[in-house]
Amino acid sequence: MEDDTTAADLRRRVASVLAEHDPATSDPLEFHRARFDAGLAWVHFPEGFGGLGLARELQPFVDGLFEEGGAPDNNSKINGIGLGMAAPTILAAGSEEQRRRHLRPLWTGEEVWCQLFSEPDAGSDLAALGTRAVRDGDDWVVNGQKVWTSVAHLARFAILIARTAPELPKHQGITYFICDMTAPGVEVRPLRQITGEAEFNEVFLTDVRIPDGQRLGADGDGWRIANITLNQERVSIGGRDTPREGGILGMVADTWRQRPDLRTPELHDRLLTMYVESEVARLTGVRMRQKLAEGKPGPEGSALKLTFARLNQELSGLELELLGEDGLRYEDWTMVRPQKVDFTQRDAGYRYLRAKGNSIEGGTSEILRNIIAERVLGLPAEARADKDIPWKDLPR
């Protein structure tokens, strides 16, 4: 908390919104709009864009006051990409008009966003993307295919990167756009995964016209802006405020306590090791949020995302070993399209299978290891023979 004056002012502002828009009787959407207009959506955003220009560390304090007052949820779990990645990118690189058009309905949950980054032929090398955007008058005409796109079937808008200058090396000549998911030529197909669900989608873009006014940043500046998004993504996935013994660790620990018949010394040692590592990760997350609040983002986001993926996979595997045959039962293979990932309300088999995706989504573990090795530890960079070769000349 900055000081008592700031705290008192925020209490007064929150109380005013709650008094004028009683959550018990108000339309939830009108409540969210009022909260945004009062600058209490993201207090660290500028005034006029849902914030008050205050320190980020004040946000939990404000959220707590609204929670105590019974404020409704703003679809935050479904719109995690919009809130965690699109919004900070639009704030950092968008025009005044783009900020005014998109931030308010994004925060209120009126418009869900998805992320059109990954491609089937690029693998973990995002800079190798082949989706093309060609300028045609005041529009860009986009053709290509994206994959592993969460909530594309629900999204109104997408953040999209496409290649606009194939004669340049792969990290150059990429441009960042806002894509209207209802535009002609956008086709979303469900992508069924190992869990049996179709949580992700393939998105096909055929002669999709994007007005130049929906370009985010300068032509050819897409890779730099994409890294703003990716940094936010790692923090969003790996840096969640998890309580002690939260997440899958809590479920494994409960099984351990409730089923003494399943215990062995070897499983005991593994559980203790993962418990300690989970606690280290949790405390690292606390430090990361403190540094973010001070405006000093560090490498913890990449490290946390990497650790989150490894621990989820190891813990869900340990849970299956603990449960033996009981852990092999799977509740339902019916294809459904869930709106959010929920590890806590499913059985151990689901957690084990779904955790496999943690090391792919939001940046693969291999890429994150490279980032940490080169940018944090200062180790020699991996050899990149294609660094200065025009993208159009790269073998594919």
The residues annotated as belonging to the active site are 233
Rounded distance, CA 287 to CA 293, Å? 10
Q: Which amino acid is at 251?
A: M
Q: Output b/e per residue, 176-187; b: 16+ Cβ within 10 A.
A: bbbbbbeeeebe
Q: Which amino acid is at 299?
A: P
Give the count of beta carbons closer than 10 Å to the beta carbon of residue 15. 12
Please measure the distance between the N-terminal and C-terminal CA atoms of the chain and give it in whole angstroms.
53
Rounded distance, CA 142 to CA 243, Å? 44
Rounded distance, CA 290 to CA 313, Å? 27
SS3 content of the chain, % helix, strand, coil (to 5): 50, 15, 40
Q: Which two tokens stand for residue 347?
A: 């059985």
Report whether 363 contacts 304 (CB < 8 A).
Answer: no
Rounded distance, CA 90 to CA 99, Å? 6
Beta-carbon contacts of residue 160 (< 8 Å; ≥ 6 apart): 116, 117, 131, 142, 146, 176, 177, 178, 179, 210
CA geometry: angle at 146 spanning 144 and 151, to 5°?
A: 135
Phi and psi at residue 224, in whole multiples of 5°? -60, -45
The phi-psi region of residue 324 (left if phi > 0; otherwise alpha if psi is between -120 and 50; otherwise beta) is left
